[in-house]
Chain A
Amino acid sequence: MTSLPDSPPRGVDQAPASDPVLRVERLRKTFPVSLGRRRTTLHAVDEVSFTISRGETYALVGESGCGKSSVARCVTRLHEPTDGLVEVLGTDVTHLSRRELRPLRPGFQLVFQDPFSSLDPSHTVAALVSEPLRVQRRPHDRDLVAGLLAEVGLGPELLKRRPHELSGGQRQRVVIARSLALGPDLLVLDEPVAALDASVQAQVINVLRDLQRRRGLAYLFISHDLGVVANLADRIGVMYLGRIVEEGTVEEVLGAPQHPYTQALVSAIPVSDPAQRDSSARIRLQGEPPSPIDRPTGCSFAPRCWLAEDRCRTETPALVRRAGTDHPVACLLTGDPVGAGRPVAG
C-alpha cells in the first residue's frame, strides 16, 4: 500500500454522515460574455448546494452545458466561485489564492474527462504519476509510483512508456493513479469514463469502486450517463441549466423520479432486454435547453415541459421536499413544500 506517512488513517467506518468531506452552499458561477456590443453574464451555476460524506459517491448528472463541469472546476478551485461557499475537509476554500490553496490541494484531486489531453505527451508514465509528489515536494521513488500503478491495475512495465504508447483505458488509469499520489480524501471525477469504450468503461468503474472501498474515498462524480451513475453512485443531484432540480439516493431518484426532466432522463436509459422495452414510456424532449445567458423567468424547464402550467412560467420552484415525495424536487407540480427542505432563492 502507498499510504503516505503524514496522511491520516482512512476507512469507510469513519462515521460517514457526520463527517462531510465536501460542503457546497448556494454556489454561483457567472462568466462575463459579450454578444456583439452587448455585455451580459452567463449563469453557469446558480444556487447549487450539496454535501458529500467520507466514502460516499455523489453524482451530478445532466446534459452538456448544464453547468456540472463548472461545479467541478469551482470545487477544485480551477475557477473561483462568484458567490456561495465551497468547504473541503472543513476548510473554506471559496476565495483562497493559488498559493493559499497549495497546502490544501493534496486533500482533493481532479480527474478530467479526456485522458488524452490531461497527460503531457512528452513525459513518461513514471514522471506523470510522480508529478504531484514533486510539486508538493514529497519523497517519491520508483516503488511508490509502481505501487500507485498497481492500485489501478497497471504493471510496472508501463513506467517508462509515454502516453501515446498506452490505450485510452490505460491512460485514464494512469490519470487516476496520479490523482491518488497525494492521498486525497475527495476525488472530483469529471466524466471520467465518457471518452472510453463501453468495455473499458466497466474496467475503470471497477477500479474506482475498489479504490473507494480500500481508501475510503469520497467521489464527486460528474456524468451525463445515468447507466454509469446507477452503477456507482450513492446519491444523485440532477442538474438543469445551472440548478439542481432533484436530489436523493439512487433508489429515490432513479426508482421514482419526480421532476419531469428526471423522468425524461430516466426513460432514456437503454434497457437491455427487448421484452421489457416499452416504447410508449420513452419521453422524447422537444427542443434545446434555454440559453444560460437569457434564462427564462419561472421554472427553466417549463419551455420544454409537457406538463407546464401558467404558474410554471412565472414562479421559480425551490429545491425542497414536497407533499408526495420523499426527496427534494424543484417542481411546482409535484406538490407544496413540506418540512425543513433546503430553500432555494429564485
Chain B
Amino acid sequence: MSRLLRQPAVAVGLLGLLALLVLVSFPGLVTDHGPNTQTLSQRLVPPAWMDGGSSEHLLGTDHLGRDIAARTLHGGRVSLLVGFVAATAASVLGILLGLVAGYRGGWVDRVVTEAANVWLAFPFLVLAIATVAVVGSDLSVLVVLLAVAAWVTPTAITRAATASLRGEDYVHAAIGMGASDTHILRSHVLRTVMAPNLVVWTLTVGTLVVIEGALSFLGLGVRPPTASWGSMLNDGRAYLETAWWLVAFPGAALTLTVALTNLLGDGLRDALDVRTESR
C-alpha cells in the first residue's frame, strides 16, 4: 500500500477523489443552501467574485434561483454514487463471468465471448432509451443500465488472464496437491486478475460518470428536480450565452472527476505491474 502511494499519480488521484467524496458527502461544508430551494427573486445571479455576484451564492444561481454550489455538490452525489456502484457491479459481474469462461473453457467460454461480441456491436444508447421508455427513469434503473454498459472490459481481461494462468505449472502443482478448482481460482487466479481489474475499475468509474452525464443530459437519467451533473448541463444549456456558470461548474466537476480517476487508474497500472517485477 505504501508502495502504491509513493507513485505520485496514485497519491494525487486518490487524495483528489477522497476530497471530492468528502465535499459531496458533506455539502454543508461549503453552502447552507438546499439543492432544490428556489429563490425566484435571485435568478441567474453570477458567481460571488463577479459584478452583481453575492457572497450568499458562491457559484451563483440558476434560472430558478437555485444555488449552483449546492446543486453541483448534491448532483455529484448522484453522479459519483451511480459511477462507483455501477462500476463495482460491472467489475464483479465481469470477474465472475471471466473466471468461469477462462477456466472452464468449452461452450461456456464460447457463449460468453459471443455475448461480448454481440454486446460490443449493439448501440448502447438505443438500449438505454428503450429501457427508460419501458420501465421509466430511476436511480436503480440507471445503475443497472450503466453496470450492463461496462461489463465487457472486466470480463474480457479476466477471461484472457485466467485462460493463460490455467496453463501455469503452479496451477498444475496445485492440482497435484489435490486442490479444488475453488482453491485454485481463489488463491492463484483471483489475486493475479485483481490488479488489472482494479485499474479497469477506476477507469470505468470515470467513463460511467460521463455516460451518466450523457444520459441525464438527454433526459434519460434522474428525474428533475433531482440534480446530477448531466441534468445540470442540460438545464443550463439554454442560458449558455448569458449565464455560463450554469454549465461551467458541473462541467468542471465532471471533468475533474474523470481526470482524477484516470490519473489513479494509470498510476495503479504502473504500480501494480506484478509480472514485470517478478521476472
Residues of A with Cβ closer than 8 Å to B? 76, 78, 98, 101-103, 105-106, 109-110, 112, 114, 116-123, 131-132, 134-136, 162-164, 175, 178, 182
Contacts and interface: CB of A to CB of B under 8 A. Distances in A.
Contacts, number: 68
Contact of B178 (A102, A118, A163, A178): A102
B169 A121 contact: no
Main secondary structure of the interface of B (DSSP, over half): helix
B168 A135 contact: no
Given A120-B188, A135-B179, A135-B183, A110 B274 contact: no
Contact of B176 (A78, A103, A120, A121): A78
B274 A121 contact: yes
Give the 6 A-B CB pairs with smallest separation, nearest first. A105-B178, A121-B278, A164-B278, A102-B178, A118-B169, A117-B169
A122 B274 contact: yes
A91 B16 CA distance: 63
Contacts of A102: 178
A305 B73 CA distance: 85
Contact of B168 (A76, A117, A162, A175): A117
Nearest to A181: B177
Contacts of B173: 110, 112, 118, 175, 178
28 contacts: A98-B175, A102-B178, A103-B178, A105-B176, A105-B177, A109-B176, A109-B177, A110-B176, A112-B172, A114-B169, A118-B169, A118-B173, A119-B170, A120-B168, A120-B187, A120-B188, A121-B274, A121-B278, A122-B274, A131-B177, A131-B187, A132-B178, A135-B177, A135-B180, A135-B183, A136-B177, A164-B277, A164-B278
A122 B191 contact: yes
Contacts of B183: 134-135
B183 to A, nearest CB: 6
B192 A164 contact: no
Query: Which residue among B170, B175, B277 has the maximum number of chain A CB atoms within 10 Å of its CB?
Result: B170
Contacts of A119: 170
Nearest to B171: A120
B30 to A, nearest CB: 43
Contacts of A103: 178
Given A98-B175, A120-B188, A163 B278 contact: yes
B180 to A, nearest CB: 8
Interface of B: 168-170, 172-180, 183, 187-188, 191-192, 274-275, 277-279
B184 to A, nearest CB: 9
B174 A131 contact: yes
Given A122-B192, A163-B278, A135 B170 contact: no
A182 B278 CA distance: 28
Given A121-B274, A164-B277, A136 B178 contact: yes
A158 to B, nearest CB: 16
Contacts of A112: 169, 172-173
A31 to B, nearest CB: 15
Given A112-B169, A118-B169, A101 B278 contact: no
Contacts of A135: 174, 177-180, 183
A137 to B, nearest CB: 10
A164 B278 CA distance: 5
Contacts of A101: 178
Contacts of A106: 178
B99 to A, nearest CB: 16
Contacts of B175: 78, 98
A122 B191 CA distance: 8
Contacts of B278: 121-122, 162-164
A38 to B, nearest CB: 24
Contact of B170 (A105, A109, A117): A117
B254 to A, nearest CB: 36
A182 B169 contact: no
Nearest to A105: B178
A78 B172 contact: yes
A98 B184 CA distance: 13
Contacts of A164: 277-279
A29 B6 CA distance: 53
Given A121-B275, A135-B177, 16 more contacts: A76-B176, A78-B176, A105-B177, A105-B178, A106-B178, A110-B173, A112-B172, A117-B170, A122-B192, A123-B187, A132-B178, A163-B278, A164-B277, A164-B279, A175-B173, A182-B177
A118 B167 CA distance: 11
Nearest to B192: A122
Contacts of A105: 176-178
Nearest to A98: B175
A162 to B, nearest CB: 7
Contacts of A122: 191-192, 274, 278
Given A162-B278, A164-B277, A120 B170 contact: yes
Contacts of B174: 131, 135
A122 B274 CA distance: 8
Contacts of B274: 121-122
B193 to A, nearest CB: 11
Contact of B177 (A114, A121, A132): A132
A136 B170 CA distance: 16
Contacts of A121: 274-275, 278-279
A179 to B, nearest CB: 9
B52 to A, nearest CB: 60
Contacts of A131: 174, 177, 179, 187
Contacts of B187: 120, 123, 131
A274 to B, nearest CB: 39
Contacts of A132: 177-178
